[in-house]
Chain A
Amino acid sequence: MFDNIGLLTLAPVLNVQLLLDGLFIGAIFVLAAYGLALVWGVMNVKNLAQGEFVIMGGYLAWHLSTLGIHPIASLPIVIAIMFAFGWALYVLIIKWVVSRELFTSLLATFGIALVIQQGLNLAYGPEVRTAESGLTTHALFGGIVTVAEIKIVSFGLCALLAATVILFMKTSRMGQAIRATAQDARAAKIMGIDTEQVYAFTYALNAAICGAAGVLVSMIWVIQPFYGIPHSIRSFVIVTAAGLGNIPGVIITGLGLGMAEQYAGFVLGAEFQQATVVTLLVLVLIWKQIQAARHRQVVQ
């Protein structure tokens, strides 16, 4: 089970490979998790369809690439489509869920997730896909460490997207409205903010961010209709561990999760990679609960 652990000490360069891969993957996790933190914090919707949005974005990029559009060029198109899709979902379903009890949003978005993944399965079949970017792979340290150019490009795009979103939230009129609504929806309403529209925009923005993350996933990794659930769980792990409204926390946890997953996959075996994510979720929740129990004790 731990056969590979010796390998890591014998060839320390392998650590570089794992850390780099974890970093590149983790950057994408950060994007999706930030979207979740946004809808969770602003409208109190626990979006279980997060991973499905990612995979859907990936499939859109893949589909466009079969039509001859390069995946990177398809990024703005996918963002626009996913934004519209998110807005439509909000008007059709999420609107009725926002003010309801917490379990409602969880189960309703689970239903959405089911529809999306099965719809993708019907449309594209269960094969594992990758959108080819056509960029080369560089070998470092005499071929032990390989770095695909596309991974670096994707990392850069991730940083660019994240910076854009954060700037947007900080400076633009809509961003201010979103933050005001997150602080106190009723007060925001009294101040003349159309909270209904803010909610719709937030949900659509989340779908767009996830879609962009999906494009990157389809380029540097693989997509398959049923790969959405792990992505959703990763988002939940990151957001529960980092807390809402904590952007540096989300970034650090996301990158850390990416690396932890790479190490677990290497040391324990590829079949444990998924189990690691889910087990981490349970552990994070246990840790949260111990904290809550301590808090209650203090109150007593």
Chain B
Amino acid sequence: MNSDNTLPSQSAAGSTGAAKRLIAHNADRTPWYVYAAVLAFGVAAPFIFPAYTTQIAFLWMMILFALTWDIVGGQMGYNSLGNIFFFGAGMYISAVVQVGLFTDVATYTSARGGEQLVLDYGDFFFSLGLGTIVAAVGCVILAILLGLIVLGLRGPYFAIGTLGVALSARELAGTWELIGGGSGIAMPVYPGQPDEKSLVFYTAFLVLAILTFIAVRWLYSTRFGLAINAIRDDEDKAEAMGIHTMRHKLAAWSVSAFFLGMSGAIFGNMTGFVEPLEVAFPVATFGIFMVVMALLGGKGTLWGPVIGATLFHIVKEVTWTYLLGWQWVALGLLIIVNVVFFQEGIMGWMQRKWPERFGITVDQRMSASQSGKEGGQ
């Protein structure tokens, strides 16, 4: 059911004796009807549940978040806390491009939303498409530049460093007057009806999530996937085996940034308003959600992030409104429980429970002797 048939390593400290002996071959064994069912749900959902179109669009975005986080965090073992940076950067890039196509950005933002940008269909979709593409390319460039700096950091320093990047982007965006500072930029107004608008953005997120899934599924089945797994398991050894680690790390981070940038651009247009603290760089919400979702589903697996994101989003949407302010406390508790007591995630647990269903062959001989050794320690 997944492309990566090694179990995610439980710890870097080397307690993965049994897991390391699993034989990896990167065939995606998901039956075709799972894909068909997901696709059918994706296409039919806005017509079956028209009231929840936006909610389900968010679900696709959450799946995209978890998938992109897992490229670097799960498959490569570089746990980033600041991937949300690319979301916000993409949003701002697209905003500047889209507004800049029709008017002067500085005067537009200094009017503080005093003037609205009303476009016709052709102009709107042209600006949306162009903004999204420029955002994606811009985020890849940013990922490479930043990656040269932060991807040299390892372990907790990487996590803190990326968190620092996201937080400083958030603070600095709030002080940059050209992009509206703390009061933000109003995006071009969608020319049609609200129902039609939500359907358009639903489709955009559905297509984007599917593209992301196809891209990571293909990536994990190639030599590249094996290489980043090798970096996760032991970076120094991977380097000694001749893998150009920095190049692989940059590539993986760029893929992540590419899709996050596009999702940011579309999200900005969907919300209609870009502002640094809550919309563009929500470090403590979306930024942490993506980590929690990937962990919940099982990091380092293909389907884990999808399952985790779906479960998390449904639970969040159902319970959020009933918790009356306690939702954030609940989120914190969920993170703690998930990280401390259930780190393998749903997919990791299922793979351990029924390895044969995932095409994992456990080498009994080796794992027995390994566990014997571990027991003796």
Contacts and interface: CB of A to CB of B under 8 A. Distances in A.
B102 interface: no
B161 interface: yes
Contacts of A118: 326, 328-329, 332
A245 B328 CA distance: 35
Contacts of B155: 102-103
Nearest to B73: A103
A104 B149 contact: no
Interface stretch (A106-114, A170-178, A249-257): A106-114
Given A114-B284, A285-B153, A285-B161, A275 B175 contact: yes
B160 A101 contact: no
Interface in A85-126: 93, 96-97, 99-108, 110-115, 118-119, 121-122
A159 B198 CA distance: 59
Given A275-B168, A275-B175, A278-B168, A107 B152 contact: no
B164 A111 contact: no
Contacts, number: 120
Main secondary structure of the interface of B (DSSP, over half): helix
Interface residues of A, number: 43
A270 B19 CA distance: 52
A209 to B, nearest CB: 21
Contacts of B284: 114
Given A101-B13, A115-B332, A93 B340 contact: yes
A45 to B, nearest CB: 10
Given A114-B332, A282-B165, A286-B149, A103 B79 contact: yes
A292 B154 CA distance: 10
Nearest to A113: B332
A137 interface: no
Nearest to A107: B339
Contacts of B149: 286, 289
Interface in B1-50: 10-13
Contacts of A97: 340
Contact of B340 (A96, A102, A240, A275): A96
A293 B152 contact: yes
Interface size classification for chain B: 35 or more
A147 to B, nearest CB: 29
Given A119-B329, A122-B325, A275-B171, A107 B160 contact: no
B166 to A, nearest CB: 9
A34 interface: no
A233 B167 contact: yes
Contacts of A278: 164, 167-168, 171
B243 interface: no
A100 B335 contact: no
A104 B343 contact: yes
Contacts of B326: 118, 122
Interface of B: 10-13, 79, 81, 149-150, 152-153, 155-157, 159-161, 164-165, 167-168, 171-172, 174-175, 182, 284, 288, 291, 295, 325-326, 328-329, 331-336, 339-341, 343
30 contacts: A93-B336, A93-B340, A100-B11, A100-B343, A101-B13, A102-B156, A103-B155, A104-B11, A106-B156, A107-B335, A108-B336, A110-B81, A110-B288, A111-B332, A111-B333, A111-B339, A112-B332, A112-B336, A113-B332, A114-B329, A118-B329, A272-B171, A272-B175, A275-B175, A278-B171, A279-B172, A281-B161, A282-B165, A285-B150, A285-B160
The 8 A-B residue pairs with the shortest CB-CB distance in the complex, in nearest-first order: A114-B332, A111-B335, A115-B332, A275-B171, A118-B328, A111-B336, A278-B168, A281-B164
Given A106-B81, A278-B164, A289-B157, 13 more contacts: A46-B156, A93-B336, A100-B13, A102-B155, A111-B335, A114-B331, A233-B164, A233-B167, A271-B182, A272-B171, A279-B172, A288-B157, A289-B153
